[in-house]
Structure 1
């Protein structure tokens, strides 16, 4: 049946109208051939609107129907939905029946479906709405890192089934559950406590129904919060927004010294709550007219895939049975809802509430001088965190470990198995002698070499091919493009030629003079995206608060990956952007790349002598360039001199020894000098960078990401600082 349109009927014209709209939006997959209803004026009008015959009994339906959408109240709610579904299943028609369905009715329908070789499914649009899917996706990412401590949820009794469905999807299971009603409620909210999926649950239910209009006057649809040790994830309403609220933790140093920039306080830069996705939910016209039919359409497409033998994201029958039983337990605990007849719609114009809220003063800064380091970075974090939403520390650590093992094996294979210094350096270009020394120290640190005197003894060389495959497997598309690991592996294969000077490392990064590979390496890996987004969002906030075109100096701008992110974030905001690098090649490429953007200037600038006009920049950016400065303190001090009082310095740097750089970009670097030589390291640590910045007169520094962040093992950080205002 693959590729054929499914001949479909809709049973019911109240909520069934949303199914009709969903089918109308999918004409290539479904052919609406009829409507089954009681024959009311509304039913007649619906049939005329969609140009299909109206039937009032299942026996009137023609042969050859593939799918029936039964959107009638089920037997447990006093309707004919279950009876209609069973009659259709006996005719060999696939059925989707709108929730809720009593457990016994569900068992009967599933049994009948199996007997006649067709599919039966309980439909539920709510978990397929965009905000609900964002909540579920974020919940799974959160719970992959730490267990849920509690669930706090609320709904109207009419939509309790989808709330339980949503919670089960988010937590991953509904069993085991245990429920107890808290007793008669004084107000409209009844309380049920217990466990769901083994997690402690508090459930508040609006338990009043207008018998003449039960589908209206719902005080709320769905709210749900999952609490963990790190914070709480909340679906504020069925249609959003979704909020992440980190748990407040004040470290001892901050508590006693009020030092909110001390090491270990990085998490305090995060906002008190972050909206995951759109901050403002859509209006009800859009919800009812587009989002609900689209969510039903997703459900119908999954069922179609199962019917036609394609891969389908269907839930097991046992899960549907468990949900039905759970819903019955909830309603049993609640008992019959209170009846509230003759309710009236009493809207309150949102403009009145907006005006009332607008009268409260905003404590956020309104001028550049009032911007704070922590406040601006806290505002920039949500955009950056979007890049790591699905990553865990374990995933990243696994890649780093596998990459290190592959690089160490490549080093071993490229060097003799042992010998004196002269023997180990035989055939090595003198410019790279320092690099071999770094290799030997790295191999010794990992137990691969014993450089105790002369001669040096190395472990037997390993075969790195399998190790590179394992590293590539751990480097998923969430971390970055495959070309990154391919580039590192290519360098590793050519280490003998690189050491001897026969192979140019520059040509491996810029094959045939093309910057495409380098652009990708410096732009697309997750750390680059995270840090560049942080910088770009910070610059955007600073620019928005300033009265004049923002003056930006970027030193060592290279391929322009950071430049691109900043310019995109600034949009139409005016900027005086000085793009600098030591290489004319990068300046030439940048002139072509950013020719359409006004406000850019280009100059040669040496990071070892970056002197400029004092106070001529509001922001100085140095992304991954200061690690090669001869004297980091002098370079940072000189760059600070460019800044106007209160100006912003944004530096990104590696903060650990990157073994993969020792076998690739290090061939284009000079031997460590200054602080790096004193530390006997190619790259300075986080602590050492803070010492450099302090020595340059920048005492208040914020470092991101934090040490417990998923990206922490990759060893790249943003150091954000401000020049004192006076």
Structure 2
């Protein structure tokens, strides 16, 4: 069967549904307005775009009319009638007004065609689960009232559902219609002798039926469906015992151990993306299979037709005027204002870091597509920010001007010690297509506006804050962006932006509250704990010698905290001698104040870029060495790794956590406080080594025995790796 899809918004759901039924249906084209977006969509779907019904090809069997049809094509009902006149069966997504419905049904019957009003909403898993629950409630309990708060676009389906479930539900009675505010309506009435209250916001219409809530109040409690994906709750009624002064002696006591609120059903595919891309097309697919059966019969089902007409009449009685005024007459796009509800959880516990199994569970729940979007959007925002900064400096303001690297450096006024950072900017902007490099000169491909930059940062905060990092991390980056001029010329020290007035809140947000570093720290702590446990249980090693653990570049103590927390939960904490080291006495002083006196921690200043022997670290002296985010600041990575392995005991482990991708936020912040590399990064003009290069170095100097996240894990998109390394001899782990 050849199908034409007529839609103005989100035709993708119908195309996705039809592709899943390609053994039955063949997409003949898209009927829509001649816009750039529609042309691109048709091209991507490899189908023809039609802007006029007269241009449609012959032999179209089915016309699918989505709820949103452009008025330039005549609107839903006009297109449906034109399809029928051309001998095309029609599937029209609800709602339809009663007189129009009757007219189209009669016309389809006269032409031996099938006209069907589609209600894919009723085929969603959450809705089907709620129907089952509601039927059981009606069997067992007395229903007092039904409350509905719904987006205008799905009211028709909800009315149809109530008509199917409620006893004696036919025409509505005792209607009282009230507009409580602009576009906000409340309707009181009865359906099947059960009172109902219907609230709808006529200005809130969305192409997808997401916004709604249904509550069924009974003598025992309330059943509620919260949105098109659920969940479904049962809330037990709290009754005050009247027959006895003592609650324990009352009849209510027997049920007092029942949870006051129970989760009855929850959708596993809980994201809006899964709803739009999977559940909604699946519901449409089921509808189209029913449509196929009706088309084969070439006639209307009389019982279903009467039920449809009754539903249309009830819908029109409740919302007909509302629909006509606020939907048929308006096609204004709904503004999508970004707001992250995760801030509500933070408002309660003031905590963004996760621990233990809670952390692992959260990391496993992160989807590849979501992380890809986060990383791509963050990179795009930072690239736009960089180019905007250069344009504010008078560079790349017109396409006919180009600059050599030396000219850009001079124009920006960058200090000599930061020239490599600016050169890295230019290189990245060129790689990503924001600049072109021809004959030794750079020119721009597109101008960046301040509005683009602001929108990018707002979207980045929405995606990252509370989900992958702390809002403080975003605030820290924004502070750096505002200070880029002074960072470039050296008048602003980058360390003072990371530690303003000696505070650690920004540093903690970066090292303690980003999901990927929490994950790495957890895996480090687990690996160290497992190693020490095995060593202690091996009698051949002797239990009386303390196990020495060295942390290089411990900084704010984010990794230290996690390791000591894990070890404190074992009987082996007293068998460990933990050396907390950093190049700065500032961190050592802060650590000495933070850690308890009875913890086995000592402190020492150690510089990874200086000879370790000369700093009192003897050969083969350490069982475990931890280095998180410190070797990227080593001038020569090979030498640093070799030096650490030299002081590692035979059978010991070296744990290295490093950034392994060109993370762009570093280029507007911490790059201004990092050592200029003298290894392979210098020749390749890179800030960080790739995972492949790290593997090569580690296997040359020692033996790579494990890494996290493992290949294929979505967290790899965040550009951090933990490497577990040993000497070339046998490793005890």
Taking structure 1 as the reference length, what is the TM-score of the superposition?
0.50
State how far apart, in whole Å, the 1-side matches of 2:429 and 2:488 are.
17
- Asked if the contact 2:143/2:217 (under 8 Å) is kept, the reply is no
Change in CA separation of 1:670 and 1:113 when aligned onto 2, cut-off 3 Å = same
- Structure 1 residue 720 corresponds to structure 2 residue 724: yes
The one of 528, 552, 555 equivalent to 1:555 is 552
- Asked if the contact 2:635/2:676 (under 8 Å) is kept, the reply is no
Q: How far off is 1:582 after superposition?
A: 0.7
Q: Matched residue of 1:117: which SS? A: strand
- Structure 1 residue 583 corresponds to structure 2 residue 584: yes
Equivalent positions of 1:650-661 (< 5 A) are 650-661=655-666
Aligned to 2:523: 534
State how far apart, in whole Å, the 2-side matches of 1:430 and 1:713 are.
33
Aligned to 1:675: 680
Aligned to 1:711: 715
Aligned to 2:467: 478
- Asked if the contact 2:163/2:169 (under 8 Å) is kept, the reply is no
The one of 393, 398, 407 equivalent to 1:423 is 407
State how far apart, in whole Å, the 1-side matches of 2:562 and 2:657 are.
14
Q: Matched residue of 1:462: which SS? A: coil
- Structure 1 residue 392 corresponds to structure 2 residue 367: yes
State how far apart, in whole Å, the 2-side matches of 1:384 and 1:701 are.
24
Q: Matched residue of 1:601: which SS? A: strand
Equivalent positions of 1:558-577 (< 5 A) are 558-571=555-568, 573-574=573-574, 575-577=576-578
Q: How far off is 1:710 after superposition?
A: 2.1
- Asked if the contact 1:124/1:296 (under 8 Å) is kept, the reply is no
CA RMSD of aligned residues (A): 3.9
- Structure 1 residue 411 corresponds to structure 2 residue 402: no
Change in CA separation of 1:656 and 1:106 when aligned onto 2, cut-off 3 Å = same
Equivalent positions of 1:158-557 (< 5 A) are 296-299=259-262, 385-415=360-390, 416-417=395-396, 418-426=402-410, 427-463=413-449, 464-547=453-536, 548=543, 549-557=546-554
- Asked if the contact 1:113/1:120 (under 8 Å) is kept, the reply is no
Q: Matched residue of 1:457: which SS? A: strand
State how far apart, in whole Å, the 1-side matches of 2:520 and 2:258 are.
35
Change in CA separation of 1:671 and 1:717 when aligned onto 2, cut-off 3 Å = same
Equivalent positions of 1:1-20 (< 5 A) are none
State how far apart, in whole Å, the 1-side matches of 2:262 and 2:466 are.
28
Q: How far off is 1:641 after superposition?
A: 1.8
- Structure 1 residue 593 corresponds to structure 2 residue 594: yes
Which digits, 9 at most, give the CA deviation of each residue in 1:76-100, with x for residues without a partner?
99xxx97773xx447x899xxxxxx
Change in CA separation of 1:300 and 1:654 when aligned onto 2, cut-off 3 Å = closer
The one of 616, 625, 629 equivalent to 1:620 is 625
Aligned to 1:324: none
Q: How far off is 1:293 after superposition?
A: 6.7
Q: How far off is 1:677 after superposition?
A: 2.1
State how far apart, in whole Å, the 2-side matches of 1:483 and 1:122 are.
46
Q: How far off is 1:122 after superposition?
A: 9.3
Which digits, 9 at most, give the CA deviation of each residue in 1:604-661, with x for residues without a partner?
1111233421222111100011012122111111111222211111110111111110
Which digits, 9 at most, give the CA deviation of each residue in 1:266-305, with x for residues without a partner?
xxxxxxxxxxxxxxxxxxxxxxxx9x97664213999xxx
Change in CA separation of 1:556 and 1:105 when aligned onto 2, cut-off 3 Å = same
Unpaired segments ≥5 residues, structure 1: 1-73, 95-102, 129-139, 141-167, 173-289, 303-318, 320-379
Which digits, 9 at most, give the CA deviation of each residue in 1:186-239, with x for residues without a partner?
xxxxxxxxxxxxxxxxxxxxxxxxxxxxxxxxxxxxxxxxxxxxxxxxxxxxxx
Q: Matched residue of 2:607: which SS? A: coil
State how far apart, in whole Å, the 2-side matches of 1:557 and 1:387 are.
26
State how far apart, in whole Å, the 1-side matches of 2:357 and 2:219 are.
34
- Asked if the contact 1:89/1:113 (under 8 Å) is kept, the reply is no
State how far apart, in whole Å, the 2-side matches of 1:597 and 1:124 are.
56
Q: How far off is 1:490 after superposition?
A: 2.1
Q: Matched residue of 2:723: which SS? A: strand
- Structure 1 residue 692 corresponds to structure 2 residue 705: no
- Asked if the contact 2:656/2:724 (under 8 Å) is kept, the reply is yes
Change in CA separation of 1:597 and 1:500 when aligned onto 2, cut-off 3 Å = farther
Change in CA separation of 1:109 and 1:674 when aligned onto 2, cut-off 3 Å = farther
State how far apart, in whole Å, the 1-side matches of 2:433 and 2:138 are.
69
State how far apart, in whole Å, the 2-side matches of 1:618 and 1:663 are.
37
Equivalent positions of 1:60-99 (< 5 A) are 85=141, 88-89=142-143
Change in CA separation of 1:413 and 1:669 when aligned onto 2, cut-off 3 Å = same
Q: How far off is 1:115 after superposition?
A: 2.5
Q: How far off is 1:457 after superposition?
A: 2.2
Change in CA separation of 1:422 and 1:576 when aligned onto 2, cut-off 3 Å = same
- Asked if the contact 1:656/1:685 (under 8 Å) is kept, the reply is yes
Which digits, 9 at most, give the CA deviation of each residue in 1:502-545, with x for residues without a partner?
22211111112211211121110111111111111111212222
Aligned to 2:650: 645
- Asked if the contact 2:405/2:441 (under 8 Å) is kept, the reply is yes
Give the length in aligned residue pairs.
404
